[in-house]
A and B are shown apart, each in its own frame.
Chain A
C-alpha cells in the first residue's frame, strides 16, 4: 500500500514536471536581457525553497528528538537533511551554470553563495558525524544538536541579500526588492509543486531505509549475543 502511494506520488510529480517543462520551454517568452538561460530559475529557486523547508523540518524533528528521545524523530531528521542537501546541491549547481553565463564566472564569494556553500558543508558534516558515532542514542543526540546549530545558517542565506547589499546575486523576489512578471512568478510556484512531491517521495524512501537500518543493527546485536 505504502509502495503504491509512493509510485502514485512519483507519477503525479513526473506528470506535473512534464506539463511544466512544456510551458517553460515552449510557452513562456525568453527574458529580455538573459535570453533562454533565465528559465533555469524555475528549478534553481524552488530547489532552494525545498531545501530550506527540509532543513527546517530536520531542525524541528531534532528538537522533538531531544525533548522526547523517540528515535523516529531522529530518523525523520536524517532523512530530511539528506534529501534537503540533494536539493541544495542542485540549487548550487544550477546557480553556477546560470552565473557562468550571466556573470561570466560560475562562482563569486558574495554572501549569498558563500552562506549557501557553508550550509551545504554544515549539513554534509551532519551526515558524516552520523557515520562516525556507533551508539544509536549518542549518534542521535549529537546529530540533533548539530542540526539545530546548522539551521542558524538558513536565515543567513535567506536574508544575506538584504544584509549585505553590494552583491552580484539578484534581489530576492520573495520579501525582497526583486521583480518578476506574473507569468514567471506563477510558474515558479507551479514548478515548486512537483519538486515538493518528489521531495516527499525521496523522504519516505529514506525514512524506510532508516527503519531498515535500525532493524539491521538490532539483528547484528542479536547475532552477536547468540
Chain B
C-alpha cells in the first residue's frame, strides 16, 4: 500500500465517494482510529484541566489559611 493511497483514502472520508477506498473499509478504519484516540485524548485533556483546577484551589486555600493563622496570632 503506497503512502499516497492511504492519504487519498483518508481525505476521501471527508465526503467524496471512492469505490476503491469504500471497498477496503477505509471509512470505518478512519472512524475506528479516530475513536480510539479521541477517547484517550479527551480523558487526558480532562485530567489536565482537573489538575489546574486543584492547583488553583490549593493556592487560594493556602493563602486563606496563612491569613487566618496570622490573624489568630495577632
| Interface residue ranges, A against B (CB under 8 Å) | 25-27, 29-30, 34-40, 43-44, 47, 83, 86-87, 89-90, 93-94, 97-98, 100-101, 198, 202, 205-206, 208-209, 212-213, 215-216, 219-220, 222-223, 226
Contacts and interface: CB of A to CB of B under 8 A. Distances in A.
Given A36-B24, A36-B29, A202-B43, A216 B54 contact: yes
A206 B46 CA distance: 11
B8 interface: no
Given A36-B24, A36-B25, A198-B40, A212 B58 contact: yes
A100 to B, nearest CB: 7
Nearest to B35: A93
Contacts of B58: 212, 215-216, 219
Interface residues of B, number: 35
Instruction: Give the one of B47, B55, B64 with max A CB within 10 A.
Output: B47
A220 B33 CA distance: 43
Contacts of A98: 28, 32
Given A37-B32, A97-B28, A100-B28, A226 B51 contact: no
28 contacts: A25-B6, A26-B1, A26-B6, A35-B24, A36-B25, A36-B28, A36-B29, A38-B25, A40-B36, A43-B33, A83-B43, A86-B40, A94-B32, A97-B28, A101-B28, A198-B40, A202-B47, A209-B47, A209-B50, A209-B54, A212-B51, A212-B58, A213-B54, A219-B58, A219-B62, A223-B64, A223-B65, A226-B69
